[in-house]
């Protein structure tokens, strides 16, 4: 870590360090302001697992409606915190900040090193996804873990420290960790596998990579099927319309930044993907071309899956780390010395000082405005506060909640909250409901 940070010019590191410190400080001051309701699902399920050994959100039915690696990592951390500080410590949302901060640090350092290896602009490569995953209310979702595991995957592909079969086994392991961090990254993993097959032609190595991936992921799929009645989690099962095509057109929920086409964010999905795709043909360096192609392929296939076969709940920002990362990689490559020379850009950017200084000012403005907004409206909806007030006045009861079930469930652990959409239930319960006379 010291090798890469100490050797960099201070003006390059400064905006990353400033943004990281500022946003972590805001997390500490107003943690709830940066937690979306669905992220409370992880806090509740992991608390139940750590304290009671039951993988449940409602306390009534088991659930697999979560991305597994983040759920079990958070569960292990929750168990440790509970053992050290008592069970009540898990009822304070600040308890998991050290885990999220550690993942951010690991991801930032790894992405900085990736920028160094690929010889692309490191501050931009780190700043863009860092700003995205700290500003936009994804705290305690799976995104911070994905930010970290995705960086490990890229490092395993472009790194020079391992060769031969060991390299492919490492790539296979990292592919599995990425998929288990967020399941729809299977599109990225598939794209990367095809590209490595085309470019490397090392069939034994690719077989080792595939075998490692299967060994790690099969237990999750098997347990899903045996325990919950389906290979996929209930949340994906409920949202999917496959094989029927589901058309939505343009939509907006929550302002201009939430504008979407066919359920896919325009600002955080379509625009960065299109930008990266437009620049991809100008890339000449093999590893840069491969990494961006893999991330792009994952983002494009994710768009097709959401646009054609997903009915709802795709406006949350945690869907869009892949396209944002593709945009960051493309931007960082565009600002690299080799690319500026290739495009004959004559703007005098000594170590990109002008750009980084402008980004620093912009970051301050955006961060300040975002934090002020979130401070005054910590949940963005009075419905969550009303639901919490109601359930806290009725202890040891069971409720069916249609909107914002996560917040009241976390802050009233003595009650049993059932999310009406059954995204935190399981497929067996859903099928029983559909087959009942009340369906």
pLDDT at 7 over 70: no
Nearest CA-CA partner of 157 in 105, 209, 198, 207: 209
DSSP string computed for 209-246: HHHHHHHHHHHHHHHIIIIISSSS-HHHHHHB-TTS--
Burial class (CB in 10 A: 0-12, 13-18, 19+), 86: exposed
- Nearest-angstrom CA–CA distance, 156 and 110: 11
- Joined tokens for residue 31: 């943690």
In angstroms, what CA-CA distances link 312 with 197, 252, 264, 411?
A: 35, 12, 10, 26
**398-401 and 416-419 as β-strands: parallel, antiparallel, unpaired?**
parallel
pLDDT above 80 for 362: no
Angle between helices 143-158 and 68-85 (to 10 degrees): 120
- As a whole number, mean pLDDT of residues 226-230 equals 85
Q: What six digits make up the tokens of 204?
A: 């034994």
The string of pLDDT tens digits covering residues 311-346 is 877 888 999 999 999 999 999 988 876 555 444 444
pTM of the model: 0.91
Secondary structure (H, E, C), 151-210? HHHHHHHHCCCCCHHHHHHHHHHHHHHHHHHCHHHHHHHHHHHHHHHHHHCCHHHHHHHH
Q: What is the CA radius of gyration of the chain?
A: 22
Name which of 80-89, 154-163, 230-239, 263-272 the model is least confident about.
Answer: 154-163
> pLDDT for 342-359, tens place per residue?
444 444 454 554 565 566
Q: What local confidence, expressed as pLDDT, does residue 1 receive?
A: 45
Distance, in Å, from the CA atom of 265 to the CA atom of 316, rounded to the nearest integer, reads 9
Cα–Cα dist 107/102, whole Å? 9
Query: Environment class of residue 217 by beta-carbon count within 10 Å: exposed (0-12), middle (13-18) or buried (19+)?
Result: buried
Q: CA dist 293 to 196, 330, 420, Å?
A: 11, 10, 39
391-413 mean pLDDT: 82
The percent of residues in the chain predicted with pLDDT above 90, rounded, is: 48
Tell me: the pLDDT tens digits for 111-168? 999 999 999 989 899 999 999 999 888 999 999 999 999 999 999 999 866 566 788 9
Taking each helix axis from N to C end, the angle separating 143-158 and 97-118, rounded to the nearest 10 degrees, works out to: 30
Q: What is the mean pLDDT of the chain?
A: 85
In the chain, where the domains are located: 2-34+92-376, 382-435
């Amino acid at each position: 870590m010291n090798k890469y940070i100490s050797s960099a010019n201070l003006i390059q590191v400064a905006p990353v360090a400033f943004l990281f410190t500022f946003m972590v400080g805001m997390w500490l001051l107003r943690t709830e302001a940066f937690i979306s309701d669905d992220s409370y699902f992880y806090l509740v399920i992991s608390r139940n697992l750590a304290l009671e050994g039951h993988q449940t959100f409602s306390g009534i039915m088991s659930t697999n409606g979560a991305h597994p690696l983040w759920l079990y990592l958070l569960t292990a951390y929750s168990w440790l915190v509970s053992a050290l500080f008592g069970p009540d410590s898990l009822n304070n949302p600040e308890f998991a900040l050290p885990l999220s901060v550690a993942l951010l640090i690991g991801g930032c350092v790894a992405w900085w090193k990736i920028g160094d290896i690929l010889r692309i602009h490191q501050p931009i490569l780190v700043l863009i996804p860092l700003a995205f995953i700290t500003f936009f209310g994804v705290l305690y979702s799976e995104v911070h873990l994905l930010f970290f595991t995705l960086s490990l995957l890229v490092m395993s592909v472009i790194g020079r420290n391992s060769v031969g079969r060991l390299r492919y086994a490492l790539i296979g392991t990292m592919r599995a960790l990425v998929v288990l961090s967020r399941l729809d990254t299977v599109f990225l993993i598939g794209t990367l596998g095809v590209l490595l097959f085309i470019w490397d032609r090392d069939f034994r190595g690719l077989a080792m990579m595939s075998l490692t991936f299967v060994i790690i992921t099969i237990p999750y799929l098997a347990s899903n099927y045996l325990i919950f009645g389906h290979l996929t989690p209930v949340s994906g099962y409920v949202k999917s319309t496959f094989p029927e095509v589901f058309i939505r057109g343009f939509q907006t929920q929550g302002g201009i930044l939430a504008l979407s086409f066919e359920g896919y964010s325009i600002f955080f999905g379509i625009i960065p993907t299109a930008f990266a795709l437009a620049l991809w043909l100008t890339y000449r360096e093999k590893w840069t071309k491969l990494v961006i192609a893999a991330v792009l392929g994952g983002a494009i296939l994710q768009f097709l899956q959401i646009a054609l076969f997903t009915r709802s709940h795709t406006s949350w920002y945690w869907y869009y780390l892949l396209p944002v990362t593709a945009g960051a990689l493309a931007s960082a490559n565009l600002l690299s010395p080799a690319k500026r020379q290739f495009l004959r850009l004559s703007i005098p950017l000594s170590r990109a000082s002008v750009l980084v200084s402008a980004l620093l000012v912009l970051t301050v403005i955006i961060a300040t405005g975002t934090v002020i907004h979130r401070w005054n409206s910590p949940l963005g909806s009075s419905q969550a506060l009303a639901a919490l007030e109601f359930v806290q006045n009725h202890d040891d009861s069971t409720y069916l909640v249609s909107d914002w079930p996560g917040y009241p469930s976390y802050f009233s652990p003595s009650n049993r909250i059932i999310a009406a959409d059954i995204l935190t239930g399981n497929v067996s319960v859903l099928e029983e409901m559909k087959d009942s006379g009340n369906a």
